[in-house]
Structures are given as C-alpha cells and as structure tokens.
C-alpha cells in the first residue's frame, strides 16, 4: 500500500511539473514578451520598439511544443560490438519556435526559445553544447523547405535562446552569447567575407537572478520577475504592465495566475513533505530540516517562522530561537 501511495504521489508530482512547464512556455510565447527578449538580446532588433517587433516582425503565432527537434532521426546507442541499439524516449520538441522578419532586410530569421526548468545548471552536459546542436538542427531542417541542392544562399539565420532560472551564483544576471566569427590566422590579405555569409547561427544563454537584483539588460529584468517564485501573480502582472507596457489580456492574466498557482502548490507540497520526513526523525531534527528546506526554497524568514510555528505548534519566541540556531 505504501508503495502504491508513493507511486501515485510521484505521478501526481510529475503531472504538476509538466503542467507548470507547459504553462511557462505559453507565457513565454506571448508576442510582447518575446519582443522584449528580441530587443534586448538580438542585434537586429536593437533599434526597434517592443511594440514594433510584436506587431510588424514576429510572423504568425509562435509554436509551443509542436515542432520536433529531430523528426527524422532515431536516437541510437553504439556499443562495443558492431550492433546498434535503438532507444525510444518520446519525441523531443522545441519549447517555443517562431519566425521573424529582420527590420533591415525583410528576410526571415528563424528563432527558437527554450525554457529549461531544471534545478541543476550542469545536467550532465554543457547547456551551450545542446543549444548549438539545436542551432544546427534549425539550419539542417530548412533543407527542402527553404533551400535545396546548391541553394545554400537561401539558408536563414537561426537563434537558440535558453532561459535558465536556477544558476550558480557567479553566473546570475548574465547573458552569454556564442556565434561564428571570421579569423584570418594565416596570410596578409585584408579582404574579408561578408558577415551575412557566415553569421548564420547564435546561441544565447540567459542566466536569471532575483527580481530585486540590479541588472544591465531589460530581458533579464523582465524574465527574473516573470519566472520568480517570490512574486505573486498580481505583482508579476503589475510589473509587466507598468514597467514593460505589456497589455494584460485575459489569456495572459489566466496563464500567469495558473503558472504561479502550480508553482506555489509544488512548493507547498515540497515543504510539507520535508516537514513530515523531519518529524519521523524527531521533532527537533524535523524543525531544523524544515528550516533548511525552506531556506533552500528562498522563502522569506517571516514565512519560515510562520510555517514552523504552524506545523510544530511553537510559540513565536521558540520558533525564532530555532531560526537563530540554524543561521
């Protein structure tokens, strides 16, 4: 029975996280939010207003979780023998994918925005390597759509923009850009290839911080507030409207509220689970464990105080003593 309950709890948690992930993607696919990211991060749109970008340059409706990353490939594991073993782990899709026109040329630039909601910034591989792979796939997938044999001049430029909300302290509030550049390392020629002939892909890693942190980039400011676990839905919507002049439609209101509710529900269950586990090992250890978990979740000290007072029926003075001991 315990095993069944554990499995059911795990499935429910996985379902909630999947819903939260989907909700985040839908919020990020809002054109006005995409426009701020483009203006702040892509050189082609630096001189445009977010309103211009949203209304004139983003084409159609951004795809959310629709386009496969490798629609015609089957992942394979190559062992020591000459045999290939196929694995099927489900289709990998781009989180958000859309096309946009470049203001200067009117030519389409293909962009992809990915939100990786992972706690570990180093998930067993460098994120930038995966971002560059996605760039390559965005280019190779144009074959048969944008160009065929010998028409390489018709290949469209691509961007892969990755938004990371939980990153190491020394990388917070930073944007890292990776792109192709020409380097003449032999010879004295001054002749250079035209930049548009090789500047075909760029990967960007946006490392977010806390909403109150000072930032040098508006996209970091917007996203750090929008994806923060510290701000309420009402506060996020106020910031979007007042600081970034983003109209609050009913759909955006509902999606931001859903995202916050799902996030709060997962966080509350995490706190509850930690507290229950702590109780099994003893009240005092349970209180210390609960404080540690709450601090890792970046809860304000007053909220931690309220939680342990409520869960362990402590007086305010006793609860504050525990908080001071664990500092």
Q: Across the 327 residues of the chain, what is the mean pLDDT of every consecutive 10-residue run?
A: 41 57 84 94 93 91 72 40 33 76 73 56 85 89 86 89 87 94 85 88 92 89 89 91 94 86 53 51 74 82 83 80 77
Instruction: Give residue 90's pLDDT.
Output: 43
Decide if 258 contacts 244 (C-beta within 8 A).
no
Nearest to 57 by CA among 97, 95, 107, 94: 107
Q: Which residues contact 3 (CB under 8 A, 6 or more apart)?
A: none
CB-CB contact of 89 with 73 (8 Å): no
User: How would you class 255 by CB atoms within 10 Å of its CB: exposed for 0-12, middle for 13-18, buried for 19 or more?
Assistant: buried
Instruction: Tell me if 200 sits within 8 A of 146, measured CB to CB.
Output: no
* Ranges of each domain in the chain: 9-76+89-183+193-248, 267-325
- The total of other beta-carbon atoms located within 10 Å of residue 78's CB is 9
Helices vs. strands in the chain: H and E counts, helices first: 11, 8
| Alpha-carbon gap, residue 253 to 251, rounded angstroms | 5
Burial label, 205 (beta-carbon count in 10 A; 0-12, 13-18, 19+): buried
Q: What are phi and psi of 225, to 5 degrees?
A: -80, -45
Helix (H) or strand (E) holding 105: none
Give the per-residue pLDDT at 318: 82
Predicted pLDDT at 245: 94
Choose among 66, 33, 62: nearest CA to 50: 33
How far is 123 from 139, CA to CA, in rounded Å?
Answer: 25
**Integer-rounded Cα radius of gyration of the chain:** 24
CA-to-CA distance for 99 and 95, rounded, in angstroms? 14
Instruction: Please give the Cα distance from 327 to 319 (Å, whole number).
Output: 13
User: How many CB atoms lie under 10 A from the CB of residue 204?
Assistant: 21
Distance of CA 314 to the CA centre of its chain: 39
SS3 state at 141: coil
Kindly report the three-state secondary structure assignment for every residue of 177-211: EEECCCCCCCCCCCCCCCHHHHCCEEEEEEECCCC
Q: What global pTM score does this model have?
A: 0.70
Q: If you search the block for the tokens 């500092």, which residue do you land on?
A: 327
Provide the strand spans (E) within the chain.
58-64, 76-78, 84-86, 96-101, 108-115, 158-164, 174-179, 201-207
Strand pairing report for 58-64 and 76-78? unpaired
pLDDT at 42: 93
Distances (CA, A) of 243 to 83, 219, 222, 230: 58, 12, 9, 18
Coil, helix or strand for 212?
coil
Q: What is the predicted pLDDT for the residue at 37?
A: 94
């Amino acid at each position: 029975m315990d095993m069944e309950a554990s499995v059911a709890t795990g499935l429910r948690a996985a379902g909630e996280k999947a819903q939260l992930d989907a909700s985040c993607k839908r919020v990020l696919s809002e054109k006005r939010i995409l426009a701020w990211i483009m203006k702040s991060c892509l050189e082609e749109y630096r001189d445009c207003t977010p309103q211009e970008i949203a209304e004139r340059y983003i084409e159609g409706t951004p795809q959310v979780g629709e386009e496969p990353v490798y629609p015609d490939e089957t992942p394979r594991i190559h062992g020591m023998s000459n045999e290939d073993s196929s694995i099927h782990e489900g289709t990998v899709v781009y989180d958000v994918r859309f096309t946009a026109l470049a203001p200067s040329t009117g030519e389409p630039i293909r962009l992809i925005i990915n939100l990786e909601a992972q706690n570990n910034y180093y998930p067993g591989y460098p994120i930038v390597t995966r971002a560059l792979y996605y760039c390559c796939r965005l280019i190779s997938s144009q074959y048969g759509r944008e160009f065929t044999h010998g028409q390489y001049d018709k290949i469209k430029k691509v961007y892969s923009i990755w938004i990371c909300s939980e990153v190491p302290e020394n990388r917070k509030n930073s944007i890292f850009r990776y792109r192709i550049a020409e380097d003449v390392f032999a010879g004295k020629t001054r002749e250079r290839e035209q930049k548009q002939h090789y500047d075909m892909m760029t990967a960007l890693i946006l490392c977010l911080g806390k909403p109150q942190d000072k930032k040098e980039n508006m996209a970091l400011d917007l996203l750090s507030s929008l994806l923060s676990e510290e701000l309420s839905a009402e506060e996020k919507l106020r910031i979007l409207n007042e600081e970034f002049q983003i109209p609050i439609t009913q759909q955006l209101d509902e999606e931001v509220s859903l995202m916050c509710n799902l996030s709060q529900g997962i966080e509350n269950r995490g706190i509850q689970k930690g507290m229950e586990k702590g109780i099994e090992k003893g009240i005092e250890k349970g209180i210390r464990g609960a404080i540690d978990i709450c601090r890792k979740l970046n809860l304000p000290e007053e909220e931690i105080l309220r939680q342990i007072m409520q869960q362990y029926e402590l007086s305010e003075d006793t609860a504050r003593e525990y908080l001071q001991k664990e500092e």
